Amino acid sequence: MNVQVGSAGFLTSIQDQGRPGHRRSGISSGGALDGFALRVANGLVGNDDYAAGLELTLGKVRLRFEDERMVAWCGGAFSARIGNEKLPAGRCGFVGEDQELMIVPPEEGGRAWLAISGGLDVPLVLGSRSTDLRGGFGGCEGRALRDGDILPLKERRFEIADKRRFQTAAPWGAPATWAASDNRNPVLRIVRGTNWDRFAEGAHRSLLGDAFNVMSDSDRMGARLDGAPLERVDSGDLVSEAVTPGTLQVPPSGKPILLLGDCQTIGGYPKIAHVITVDLPMAAQLWAGDSVRFHQVSLAEAQKLLREREEDFARFRVGLSLHNSSTWSSFSIPIWAKARDTTKRFWIWSAPRTSPAAFMRAIRRPFSLRSRRPWPEASPLARIPALPIGKISAGRRSQFLRRKFIPWSRTRSERSTPWPGRPVAT
């Protein structure tokens, strides 16, 4: 099956998580500028993290589908519609056969990432389907999409249950901070670079205290920043070293350059700092004229923030697996529990066709949850090395399952009835 591009917009390209492992050959890792947003969108439609989707930049994008598909998007302040129905960011939507999806960007610019159930089925180049626009390979013939392009889709992994009652947008979705990047006066957290001490104290104060404006000659390789020049202590030449997305380089002009996903593999400019990984989604939304500030954190804090995000995403994936089941708990989930006031240990198994709320109510006392391995192969928890969940009071059992384990944003009245369009595994 295919999707037909009625309107391609400007600089819309096919991207996935990039092609790591080839930087020693001078090939950029590339991929979606906000790989985490694409991972979230892929999870919502039942794809794996590395499925190829679309990166949208400017101009109206219209897509027409030859068969029924699930779609989801995350990113900037775009607006999306399936027919006449609005599809919010971070929500899974159903597109019927021969139905059109339209996405309109904000006037001030931005980027968004669209996932389609099954994923785009373009040829692999060096292990990735990403488009390298400078190299001219990958994606759709190594270029941005054009009006009239026909993109092949992989076989979808889910069928839609109870289509007659299916709503366009699912009532549950990703957390708001994952679905849409807040780009209003962003503050990017940084750690010191290897050449931090080569800059004067005044440069350090300017970097951490002043605002910088994004210049118009920015692209997927990097964002050029205009502000107070960052002066060096010495002007000697440096040996070219490896650089990565997030590296903050300072050329002789003193105007820093924030490297992004398509950056080169090595560079000779001094590296004053690096933007931490969890803030790269905000960096991907920077546009000409935007103002950005920097805040210094420790390397330990940056690593802690990344670990917490990945743990949250693992729980999010588990919740999506439960939503994508034909019943809420069609498989048994073994959980080791220990009462806080005793040394008694006991097992709890989720009963087939039991709602998550009923499952949590079956536990009669405060407890601590800890994952146990090996899990049964049928359980989505088998994909998670460890899932420490922490102590839960008796009054917050159902809240824990909805907020920490299963993504849930339905109202009280909506929760009284199951979502009629839940995807079922084929």
- Report pLDDT digits (tens) over 262-318: 888 888 899 999 999 999 999 999 988 899 999 999 999 999 999 999 988 988 888
Q: Which residues contact 84 (CB under 8 A, 6 or more apart)?
A: none
Q: Which two tokens stand for residue 195?
A: 């050449």
**In angstroms, rounded to a whole number, what is the distance separating the alpha carbons of residues 289 and 422?**
42
Check pLDDT > 50 for residue 52: yes
Beta strands in 350-405 (DSSP E): 367-370, 390-392
Residue 234: how many CB atoms within 10 A of its CB? 7
CB–CB of 169/176 below 8 Å?
A: no
Q: How confident is the model at residue 71, as a pLDDT?
A: 93
Backbone angles phi, psi at 60, to 5 degrees: -70, 135
Q: How confident is the model at residue 236, as a pLDDT?
A: 75
DSSP 61: E
pTM: 0.75
Lowest mean pLDDT among 7-11, 220-224, 364-368, 402-406: 364-368
Reported confidence tier of residue 402, pLDDT bands at 50, 70, 90: very low
Residue 296 CA, chain-centre distance (Å), reads 24
Question: Which of 328 and 138 is assigned the larger pLDDT?
Answer: 138
Q: How confident is the model at residue 234, as a pLDDT?
A: 82
Nearest to 44 by CA among 282, 280, 321: 321
pLDDT (average), residues 118-131: 92
CB–CB of 279/258 below 8 Å?
A: no
- Per-residue pLDDT tens digits for 196-223: 999 999 999 999 999 999 998 888 999 9
What is the pLDDT of the chain when averaged over all its residues? Answer: 76
Nearest to 179 by CA among 305, 285, 277: 285
CB–CB of 91/72 below 8 Å?
A: yes
The sheet carrying 169-173 orders its strands as 13-15, 53-56, 112-116, 69-75, 91-95, 169-173
409 burial via Cβ count (<10 Å: 0-12, 13-18, 19+): middle
Q: How confident is the model at residue 172, as a pLDDT?
A: 75
**In angstroms, rounded to a whole number, what is the distance separating the alpha carbons of residues 260 and 264?**
9
Reported confidence tier of residue 122, pLDDT bands at 50, 70, 90: very high
Reported confidence tier of residue 159, pLDDT bands at 50, 70, 90: low
Check pLDDT > 70 for residue 81: yes
**In angstroms, rounded to a whole number, what is the distance separating the alpha carbons of residues 219 and 242?**
20
Backbone angles phi, psi at 7, to 5 degrees: -140, 125
Q: How confident is the model at residue 80, as a pLDDT?
A: 92
CB–CB of 92/265 below 8 Å?
A: no
**In angstroms, rounded to a whole number, what is the distance separating the alpha carbons of residues 176 and 189?**
20
Reported confidence tier of residue 182, pLDDT bands at 50, 70, 90: low
pLDDT (average), residues 222-235: 90
Beta strands in 235-366 (DSSP E): 241-242, 247-249, 257-259, 266-267, 271-275, 291-296, 334-339, 345-349
Lowest mean pLDDT among 25-34, 51-60, 340-349, 392-401: 340-349
Give the three-class secondary structure for 296: strand
Question: Which of 385 and 110 is assigned the larger pLDDT?
Answer: 110
Residues of the chain with CATH 2.40.100.10: 187-297
Q: How confident is the model at residue 162, as a pLDDT?
A: 42
**In angstroms, rounded to a whole number, what is the distance separating the alpha carbons of residues 411 and 390?**
26
Check pLDDT > 60 for residue 378: no
CATH of 187-297, one of 3.30.70.1350, 2.60.40.1930, 2.40.100.10, 3.30.70.1050: 2.40.100.10
Reported confidence tier of residue 171, pLDDT bands at 50, 70, 90: confident
Backbone angles phi, psi at 164, to 5 degrees: -65, -30
pLDDT (average), residues 127-149: 91
Give the three-class secondary structure for 80: strand
